[in-house]
A and B are shown apart, each in its own frame.
Chain A
């Protein structure tokens, strides 16, 4: 399949600072990729280059086979900026009618779009009276105009409550199922974990990791943690059997081991039978994996 978005060896400098260093990636139709990174890692810069809002220094970027920012490319791409803003004097409906007209769509769809993001009740109120979450939803509604082949979403769920976030990812799933490629950035790692196909980690302008969560977990090879609760009166026995464990004040033993040693360790713990009251296996979280990759360059 031809990728919707292809970036190869993209480099962008702001004066002496290299904001992006030889970044390469490809995003296929219907795939949802999450772009992670600290503030200043280059996420927004990369998105603005994909949208053609800012020029770049070297490398190649192709959006649906077109030059980013060209009139034909802009027809195919929808964008939700970080902290999206609108003119406070317009109502939600008027703002969407304007955006629909700019994309050559019928302005009559405005109410439908607002209903899809749960804003039908506020459609005739000025955006100046909206909360941040409501403005964010107007921003989401305008990305649904037409049939964009690429969605670029910068922190799309900031300001949304948990229920709205779930609804939002449901909307994205629907779009992806119809073939829209989605590039989004987020700080909320848990939702990214469940609702995207691949993860891209930017650190200091370098793409330090790319792949599915399972790939990244295997590559990071972070230790697995165990917490073992001894049965009443058996704590000393277990502590003696596992000298490497730390005994917490709550009486729980904490151990960790490499990924490949997980099952042997589990077997050793299980061999103590009734001395063990409970056991929890804690895999490395996405936060741990993210920190692992984004700190590799001493960031």
Chain B
């Protein structure tokens, strides 16, 4: 089983590399991270935390948008592309299960996301430490950001595979992927903000908001990183609510979402008849 998954992962990584996905993902991450690091270089010193932790707080806000986007862009073609190219029927006559195929693709895409995160965040961290050697204290926060980004990516990769299997056409899958990104990452937060404002600190803000934040993997990721770094004050916005949610809850959401997304993807893939 592991050899088939590894072989699939190797093949997928090769394809992603040749299709420039490795370059695009790392390039985008490095570029945005450096821009953030440069922009965040000025107003620090009196926040009470080291410079790297502040950088991590800004990187968290970046990752919430960028990691799901990259994950969806890499995954929407996974099943629909095989259907369109006509490579799926042959693959499915091999003694490899659909779960193994998806885990193989997931492993390859996660490796790329992990690489992009390490290089992108690493570049920003280098800038922070170069400007202020004391910032080395924030390495723990950086490491947390990297692995939680990989988990966030896994969730959206799984969701992308599920959409890919459901639509069976790359164009349809791309549309669904963008719609999911808008809904989960942008509109969801806007809706929550609107509710908070209209609620004025009432029952919704204290009762339903933490649940709503945990139910969205992107928000759980933000809450987890901000509350773990105790950098809530440096972030503001929706992140301001992070203090109310225990760390273990946001961590649980981060770990459970990838499993749920993968289960969804496998269920959708099983329904595809070549």
Chain A residues within CB distance 8 Å of chain B? 48, 51-55, 71, 74-75, 77-81, 83-87, 89-90, 94, 97-99, 101-104, 107, 126, 139, 142
Which residue in chain A gives the minimum CB-CB distance to B86?
A85
**Interface pair B19/A102, CB less than 8 Å apart:** no
A and B contact pairs by CB, cutoff 8 A, 27 listed:
A52-B93, A53-B89, A54-B273, A71-B97, A74-B93, A77-B93, A78-B93, A79-B90, A80-B90, A84-B86, A84-B90, A85-B85, A85-B86, A86-B85, A87-B15, A87-B85, A89-B15, A98-B7, A99-B94, A101-B3, A101-B4, A102-B94, A102-B96, A103-B95, A104-B3, A104-B95, A126-B18
**Interface pair A83/B93, CB less than 8 Å apart:** no
Q: How far is the CA of A78 from the CA of B3 in the complex (A)?
A: 20
Q: Tell me the minimal C-beta distance from A215 to chain B in angstroms.
A: 31
**Interface pair A102/B89, CB less than 8 Å apart:** no
Q: Which residues of B contact A102 (CB under 8 A)?
A: 4, 7-8, 94-96
Q: How far is the CA of A137 from the CA of B10 in the complex (A)?
A: 23
Q: Which residues of B contact A81 (CB under 8 A)?
A: 86, 89-90
7 other A-B residue contacts (CB within 8 Å) besides A81-B90, A87-B11 = A51-B89, A71-B95, A74-B95, A78-B93, A84-B86, A89-B19, A90-B15
Closest 8 CB pairs of A and B: A101-B7, A85-B86, A89-B18, A79-B93, A74-B95, A98-B11, A102-B94, A75-B95
Q: How far is the CA of A54 from the CA of B93 in the complex (A)?
A: 11
Residue from B3, B15, B90, B97 having most chain A Cβ neighbours under 10 A: B90
Which residue in chain B gives the minimum CB-CB distance to A152?
B93
Q: How far is the CA of A84 from the CA of B90 in the complex (A)?
A: 8
Chain A facing B: main interface SS:
mixed
Q: How far is the CA of A104 from the CA of B3 in the complex (A)?
A: 8
Which residue in chain A gives the minimum CB-CB distance to B101?
A102
Q: Which residues of B contact A142 (CB under 8 A)?
A: 90
Decide if B270 is an interface residue (CB 8 Å cutoff).
Answer: no
Q: Which residues of B contact A86 (CB under 8 A)?
A: 85, 87
Residue from B10, B85, B89, B92 having most chain A Cβ neighbours under 10 A: B89
B59-110 CB contacts (< 8 Å) to partner A: 85-87, 89-90, 92-97
Q: Tell me the minimal C-beta distance from A122 to chain B in angstroms.
A: 17
Contact with A along B119-148 (1 / 0, CB 8 A): 000000000000000000000000000000
Q: Tell me the minimal C-beta distance from A43 to chain B in angstroms.
A: 14
Q: Tell me the minimal C-beta distance from A101 to chain B in angstroms.
A: 3
Q: How far is the CA of A51 from the CA of B90 in the complex (A)?
A: 10
Q: Tell me the minimal C-beta distance from B59 to chain A in angstroms.
A: 32
**Interface pair B94/A103, CB less than 8 Å apart:** yes
Q: Which residues of A contact B274 (CB under 8 A)?
A: 48, 53-54
Q: Tell me the minimal C-beta distance from B172 to chain A in angstroms.
A: 20
**Interface pair A53/B93, CB less than 8 Å apart:** yes
Q: Tell me the minimal C-beta distance from B17 to chain A in angstroms.
A: 9
Q: How far is the CA of A60 from the CA of B11 in the complex (A)?
A: 36
**Interface pair A53/B87, CB less than 8 Å apart:** no
Q: How far is the CA of A142 from the CA of B218 in the complex (A)?
A: 43
Q: Which residues of B contact A84 (CB under 8 A)?
A: 86, 90
A53-B15 in contact given A74-B95, A81-B86, A102-B96 (Cβ < 8 Å): no
Residue from B85, B93, B273 having most chain A Cβ neighbours under 10 A: B93
Q: Which residues of B contact A98 (CB under 8 A)?
A: 7-8, 10-11
**Interface pair A94/B11, CB less than 8 Å apart:** yes
Q: How far is the CA of A287 from the CA of B34 in the complex (A)?
A: 71
Q: Which residues of A contact B11 (CB under 8 A)?
A: 87, 90, 94, 98
Q: Which residues of A contact B89 (CB under 8 A)?
A: 48, 51, 53, 79, 81
Contact with A along B203-230 (1 / 0, CB 8 A): 0000000000000000000000000000
Q: Tell me the minimal C-beta distance from A268 to chain B in angstroms.
A: 57
Q: Tell me the minimal C-beta distance from A86 to chain B in angstroms.
A: 6
Contact with A along B22-66 (1 / 0, CB 8 A): 000000000000000000000000000000000000000000000
Q: Tell me the minimal C-beta distance from A84 to chain B in angstroms.
A: 7
